[in-house]
């Protein structure tokens, strides 16, 4: 039993300084792009309020963002793959799956791809689409380092 305690002591003695050193490492920053425009499309019937709301908000954010350094110029193609409304016990949870391609302005090649799910909550069905559009646009602004603009 003493051998096991001794082994544990030495492992802990070695691992603790290594774990402490990992606190000082900085995460690698994600790439930044100079987004020039965005278009919102969907392969299925998505409410026009969501499609136009996301497009207006993202394009307003693009216009409000000023880059002082040179970054790769891209155009975003935002695909809203599906929207499911009225989930959960109280039917207030709405979920959307979004996929984004960032294509180079220079040669049209896709240089970045991302996808995510957005969950929003609204007890009022009349405002659920606007809230969903804002939540999707906020996630895109965050992902591509865009400033919030007036839609």
Burial of 96 (0-12, 13-18, 19+ CB in 10 A): buried
**Cβ neighbourhood burial of 78 (10 Å; 0-12, 13-18, 19+):** buried
Helix or strand holding residue 103 (H, E) = strand 93-104
pLDDT digits (tens, 9 = 90+) for 25-80: 666 566 788 999 999 999 889 999 999 999 999 999 999 998 888 889 999 999 99
**Hey, which CATH number is domain 34-143, 3.40.630.180, 3.40.50.10610, 1.20.140.10, 3.40.50.2300?**
3.40.50.10610
How many angstroms separate the first and last alpha carbons of the chain? Answer: 69
Query: What is the residue extent of each domain of the chain?
Result: 34-143
- pLDDT band per the 50, 70, 90 thresholds, residue 150: low
Distance (Å, whole) CA 111 – CA 102: 6
pTM for this predicted structure: 0.78
The answer for residues whose C-beta is within 8 angstroms of residue 58's C-beta and 6 or more apart is 38, 40, 76, 78, 137, 140, 141, 146
């Amino acid at each position: 039993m003493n051998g096991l305690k001794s082994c544990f002591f030495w492992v802990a003695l070695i691992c603790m300084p290594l774990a402490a050193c990992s606190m000082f490492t900085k995460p690698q920053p994600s790439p930044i792009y100079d987004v020039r425009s965005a278009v919102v499309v969907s392969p299925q019937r998505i409410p026009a309020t969501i499609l136009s709301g996301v497009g207006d908000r993202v394009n307003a954010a693009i216009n409000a963002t000023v880059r002082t350094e040179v970054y790769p110029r891209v155009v975003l193609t935002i695909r809203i793959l599906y929207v499911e409304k009225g989930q959960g016990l109280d039917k207030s949870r709405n979920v959307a799956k979004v996929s984004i391609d960032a294509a180079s302005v220079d040669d049209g090649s896709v240089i970045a791809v991302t996808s995510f799910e957005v969950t929003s909550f609204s007890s009022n069905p009349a405002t659920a689409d606007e809230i969903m559009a804002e939540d999707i646009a906020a996630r895109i602004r965050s992902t591509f380092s865009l400033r919030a603009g007036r839609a």
